[in-house]
Structure 1
């Protein structure tokens, strides 16, 4: 009989951040290149608007820039947004322009300063940072809940894409009713669809 392995988010978060921290600069670069290759070969429609993020390099986050660039080469350039935390529980999507100025927040994440708020309900896609995900597409982030609360304001059919260093864990044991699964997760080996 195939035994299922269940883990809770706090255990996954700790374990997978430790695994990421063990990567050397060369290993992290190699993983990023493999992810970029997956993105390059991925056949996906360009959304009219999307939310991405500035990677937190101190946590060895993978950069979504290859996917941003793939979508930016479309005939009709999509609206690109980055998140900005505006309170202890809330973030907004801000429209990015060539002249956007950034400033690091309390976690060291570069956020736009001089940008207009984009309505969450009008976003067509989101690239969501994560530490790990499971075989159903549920993700483990950093535990602050910003993306989960933001997703409540988005259209139900918003495309949700994650980028992860690792293959999925079998199942996250403590999923709650407000957790929203990804549609896709890009890893160095393959792109998972849920």
Structure 2
């Protein structure tokens, strides 16, 4: 689960988080923390009592605690922020490659789900896809779900 960066108009994931806590109390949620190297993410458990800190980009993050780290191989699904997605599930993000590096560490079968505030169909094809880019499984928009 990503925590929204409001100034970038990212989808507000808090209603999703609160609903999951209420309806699936045994489900473990995790949220990413940008690491000191400035290029990688680690995920930490996210509960109603998890303290949140704001990083240097203004993104809320769970307080990093080695006891609550959730390894990428333990993730069943990852919600991913994006600016646009194409018909093959390739996404345009903010250019840091954070999520591509994280998704590459997940086990086969993990669902990669983009969230988009715009109700637009996928683009034809994104031209500058890199070999390290990881395609999405699906994308949720206000108008529905796109599967890839």
TM-score between both structures, scaled by the size of structure 1:
0.68
Query: 1:77 aligns to what?
Result: 26
Matched, 1:122 2:74: yes
CA deviation vs aligned residue, 1:27-49 (integer Å, no higher than 9, x gap): xxxxxxxxxxxxxxxxxxxxxxx
Rounded Cα–Cα distance in structure 2 between residues aligned with 1:109 and 1:160: 21
Aligned 8 A contact 1:163 1:185 in 2: yes
Residue 185 of structure 1: how far off its partner (Å): 0.4
Higher relative contact order (CA 8 A, sep 6+): 1
Q: Which runs of 5+ in 1 are unaligned?
A: 1-51
Residue 67 of structure 1: how far off its partner (Å): 3.6
Describe the shift of the 1:161–1:70 C-alpha distance in structure 2 as closer, same or farther (beyond 3 A).
farther
Aligned 8 A contact 1:123 1:154 in 2: yes
| Secondary structure of 2:50's aligned partner | coil
**Structure index of larger Rg:** 1
Residue 126 of structure 1: how far off its partner (Å): 0.4
Q: Which runs of 5+ in 2 are unaligned?
A: none
TM-score between both structures, scaled by the size of structure 2:
0.88
Query: 2:134 aligns to what?
Result: 180
Rounded Cα–Cα distance in structure 1 between residues aligned with 2:129 and 2:122: 15
Query: 1:26 aligns to what?
Result: none
Rounded Cα–Cα distance in structure 2 between residues aligned with 1:71 and 1:54: 14
Residue 89 of structure 1: how far off its partner (Å): 1.3
Residue 130 of structure 1: how far off its partner (Å): 0.6
Aligned 8 A contact 2:33 2:64 in 1: no
Higher percent of residues as helix? 1
Matched, 1:68 2:20: no
CA RMSD of aligned residues (A): 1.5
Query: 1:108 aligns to what?
Result: 58
1:4-83 to 2 correspondence within 5 Å?
52-72=1-21, 73-74=23-24, 77-83=26-32
Residue 151 of structure 1: how far off its partner (Å): 1.3
